[in-house]
Amino acid sequence: MTVSHIDTAHTNNDSLDSQLAIDEGTHTIAPLDNKTTDDTADSRHGAATTARQWQVLSQLQRNRWVGTTHVYEQLILAGFDISLRTVQRDLNALAKRFPIEKNNANPQGWRWEDDAPLQSLPHMNLSQAVAFNMVEANLSQLLPPVILDELFPWFDLARRQLKHSKVTHSWIDRVRIEPATQPLIAPHIDLDSKDNIYHALFYQLQIKACYTRSNKSQASEYILNPIAIIQRGVIIYLLATRTDDSENIIRTFALHRFATVEILESAAKTPDNFQLDNYLDAGGMGFSHPLFSQLPNHGKYTAIELQFTKQAGKSLTESKLSDDQIVTINSDESLTIQATVNLTSQLVWWLRGFGNGLLDAKPELLHQAVLDKELNSH
């Protein structure tokens, strides 16, 4: 096995680079085995360079050019204290030992050659490949660009890894996540707006947004403090506060209603003691119903009693409405369900889906909402 230094022509500032050696037979990166005891320091330098150059390789893709600046930015995010020049030297050095190529664009791009053997790429076992494949299929919409860009090479590697395994491919083909309600086509989202929202949320920066509310035909401009991203069904929402709101109310903004989004340099402000799980548990995304404003706390944590036919209520004996749910089988075989829940529009629509299977509901305001009484009263 021939072991050689990479880019040894550089001087003191480049001593880290000269500590790296590559096994030409297997295309694996390894620190140079330096016989001189000089050193622990050199070993540390070699390990640091190995880790950095492995990260460089992991950023490259087979079918897409990746800019040197992008690779540099990803390494900075990963905690490497380096310069753009170091990344450029790494790529040129790695190109002598690995099947990677560059283009003549400005800025310059790099990628794996089309015929690069799988073993040349950063290693991934089959379990990891399945996990990355399912993340790509189900979670891509919820990840910010800065993370997605870093994961793209792994998604690509996972697809190619799975292509060679009948067993794991069989698993992927046999697992799906199906919506509990009628599936809908996701509305169009302006990608630049979405990327800027995710970027601002990731780095906790304010945004200036042009947004059209559902009950308006004209867009309005707001300066927002991004707090969280929530996907419900096919709709993705931004939780945020408006800087012109003295009460600092947390509001929901559907991503598909943003026309333009500009990232500001000012830091976003999150309400004191805000916890996303607590917000959701309190029914923050349930959307209020006008009838429930008459109840204490607008219907939060309300004891309800629902009566169902035997067939309609059967599913609730398996999947509970709440931890304190009690099921009573009545003499006529109907079911009475008692539980503590938040009264929301989401609950109302869900109960309407039972049709004649729902025999009664308490409190009375809940029953009125299900029967759409508030609309009939106008």
Same-domain pairing of 134 and 220: no
Same-domain pairing of 230 and 295: no
Mean per-residue pLDDT of the chain = 80
Same-domain pairing of 270 and 348: no
Band of residue 263 on the pLDDT scale cut at 50, 70, 90: very high
In the chain, the number of structural domains is 4
Same-domain pairing of 303 and 268: no
Average pLDDT of the residues in 297-323:
90
* CATH code for the domain in which residue 223 is found: 2.30.30
357 class by beta-carbon count within 10 Å (0-12 exposed, 13-18 middle, 19+ buried): middle
Domain extent for 78: 12-120
Same-domain pairing of 38 and 88: yes
Any alpha helices (H) in the chain, and if so which ranges? 40-59, 68-77, 84-94, 126-139, 145-163, 166-173, 191-203, 276-281, 310-313, 345-352, 364-370, 373-376
pLDDT at 234: 86
Length of the chain: 378
SS3 183: coil
pLDDT tens for 176-187 read 888 777 788 889
* CATH code for the domain in which residue 306 is found: 3.30.70
pLDDT tens for 247-260 read 999 999 999 999 99
Please state the φ and ψ torsions of residue 338, each to the nearest 5 degrees.
Answer: -115, 135
Same-domain pairing of 115 and 23: yes
Same-domain pairing of 22 and 81: yes
Residue 181 domain flag: no
**Any idea what the Cα angle at residue 143 is, between residues 100 and 342, rounded to 5°?**
165
Residue 343 domain flag: yes
Q: Is the pLDDT of residue 275 over 90?
A: yes
Residue 183 domain flag: no
Q: What is the C-alpha to C-alpha distance for residues 27 and 158, in angstroms, rounded to an integer?
A: 19
List all residues 6 or more positions away from 281 whose beta carbon is below 8 Å from its beta carbon: none
Residue 185 domain flag: no
Max avg pLDDT among 26-35, 46-55, 132-141, 316-325: 316-325
**Is 0.95 topped by the overall pTM?**
no
Longest Cα–Cα distance in the chain: 90
DSSP 323: T
Q: What is the C-alpha to C-alpha distance for residues 315 and 128, in angstroms, rounded to an integer?
A: 35
Same-domain pairing of 274 and 299: no
pLDDT at 373: 63
User: In terms of pLDDT, which residue wins out, 160 or 83?
Assistant: 83
Max avg pLDDT among 46-50, 187-191, 206-210, 315-319: 206-210
Query: What tokens were used for 224?
Result: 């927002």
Whole-number Cα distances in Å, 172 to 69, 207, 209: 35, 39, 39
Same-domain pairing of 26 and 115: yes
Closest CA to 243 of 275, 216, 268, 261: 268
Average pLDDT of the residues in 261-273:
95
